[in-house]
Amino acid sequence: MTSKSLDHLIRDWRPGFSLARQFYTDAAVFAQEAEQLFPEHWYLVDHSSRVAETGEYFTVSLFGESIIVIRGRDGKLHAHYNVCRHRGSRICSKAEGKVNKLMCPYHAWTYDLDGTLRAARLMHEGFDKSEYALKPCHIREYKGLIFLNTSAGEAPDFDEMVAPLEPFLELHGLDKAKVAHRQLYPADANWKMVIENFFECYHCGPSHPELSAVHSLAKLLAFGAGPGSGPIEAERAFQDEMQTWEQNSRDLGHHTGMYNDEDPNRFRAAMRTPIRTGFLTETKDGQPAAPLMGNFQDYDGGHTAVSFNPFGTLLMSNDFAVLFRFTPISTTKTDMEIVWLVDENATEGRDYDVERITWVWDTTTQQDKHIIEQNVAGVMSDAYEPGPYSMQEQISNQLMEWYMRGLSPEIPEALDPGTVPT
Mean pLDDT of the chain: 93
Query: What is the model's pLDDT at position 254?
Result: 96
Q: Sheet harboring 43-47: ordered strands across? A: 43-47, 145-149, 138-142
Query: What is the model's pLDDT at position 208?
Result: 95
The whole-number average pLDDT for the span 62-75 is 94
Summarised one tens digit per residue, pLDDT across range 252-290 is: 999 999 998 888 778 899 999 999 999 999 999 999 999
Q: Could you say which DSSP state residue 124 is in?
A: P
Confidence of residue 422 (pLDDT cuts 50, 70, 90): very low
Residue 417 reports pLDDT greater than 80: no
Query: What is the model's pLDDT at position 266?
Result: 84
Query: What is the model's pLDDT at position 246?
Result: 95
Residue 4 reports pLDDT greater than 80: no
Task: State the Cα–Cα distance between residues 268 and 304, nearest whole angstrom.
Answer: 14
Q: Are 138 and 102 in contact (CB under 8 A)?
A: no
- Nearest Cα neighbor of 120 from 84, 83, 79, 81 is 84
Task: State the Cα–Cα distance between residues 17 and 21, nearest whole angstrom.
Answer: 12
Q: How far, in whole angstroms, is CA 369 from its chain's centroid?
A: 16
Confidence of residue 62 (pLDDT cuts 50, 70, 90): confident
Confidence of residue 5 (pLDDT cuts 50, 70, 90): confident
SS3 breakdown of the chain: % helix, strand, coil, rounded to 5?
Answer: 30, 25, 45
